[in-house]
Amino acid sequence: MSSLRPPRSPKSWDQRFLYAARMFASWSKDPSTKVGAVAVRDRRILVEGYNGLPKGITDSDIRLKNRDTRLSMTVHAEMNCVAYAARNGVCLAGATMYVWPLMTCSQCASVLIQADIASIVVPDFVEPFRWQESFDKAREMCVEAGIAVHRIPMEGSIDGVEEEPVVK
Ligand SMILES: [Zn+2]
């Protein structure tokens, strides 16, 4: 993963919050994909999250390095936001979810729809092919549910995501 550079001059609030999500992504111990998310309302962060194993579940090397084990146990950044909000009585209805560096997957999209998130903002990086189907499904659901998805131009390129061979 490339080092975290501070934004030279964030041009917009969308970019600022994407950089915030990027910072939380860097906290992930996932060896393959580091994703961060912040839910925002009125230019304030309500909750933040990154992908990882659930609270109290040991993130041992054995679990993190085995792809199947890791994928089956990992809480995605967006779901971590929703779970933390539920635990702390934070209403996410009408909020915007900023996710770095990937589009929300279809599973997270279904949860964000249920949480009444108003919009999703992601950087406009080229999306890894192996998740394209899930991202497309997520976009399809968001259109149907009336959730706006914005792709924001960012400097640089996708980081924190290792290209893995597609496993069928
Ligand atoms: Zn997800």
Estimate to the nearest angstrom the gap between the alpha carbon of 14 and the chain centroid. 14
* Structural domain of 49: 13-152
Q: Is the residue at 104 inside a domain?
A: yes
Read off the CATH number of the domain in which 120 is found. Answer: 3.40.140.10
Which residue is listed with tokens 């040991």? Answer: 58
Q: Is the residue at 4 inside a domain?
A: no
For residue 33, report the distance from its CA to the centre of ligand 1, in Å.
11
Q: Is the residue at 21 inside a domain?
A: yes
Domains held by the chain: number: 1
pLDDT reading at 1 higher than 60? no
Residue positions annotated with a catalytic role: 78
Q: Is the residue at 99 inside a domain?
A: yes
Residues 6+ apart with CB under 8 A from 164: 32, 67, 130
pLDDT band at 168 (very low <50, low <70, confident <90, very high): very low
What are 48-105's pLDDT values in tens digits? 999 999 999 998 999 999 999 999 999 999 999 999 999 999 999 999 999 999 999 9
Q: Is the residue at 94 inside a domain?
A: yes
The two beta strands, 96-100 and 44-50, are unpaired
Q: Is the residue at 133 inside a domain?
A: yes
With b meaning 16 or more CB within 10 Å and e meaning fewer, what string describes 94-110?
A: ebbbbbbbbbbbbebbe
For residue 5, report the distance from its CA to the centre of ligand 1, in Å.
25
What are 119-137's pLDDT values in tens digits? 999 999 988 888 999 999 9
For residue 43, report the distance from its CA to the centre of ligand 1, in Å.
24
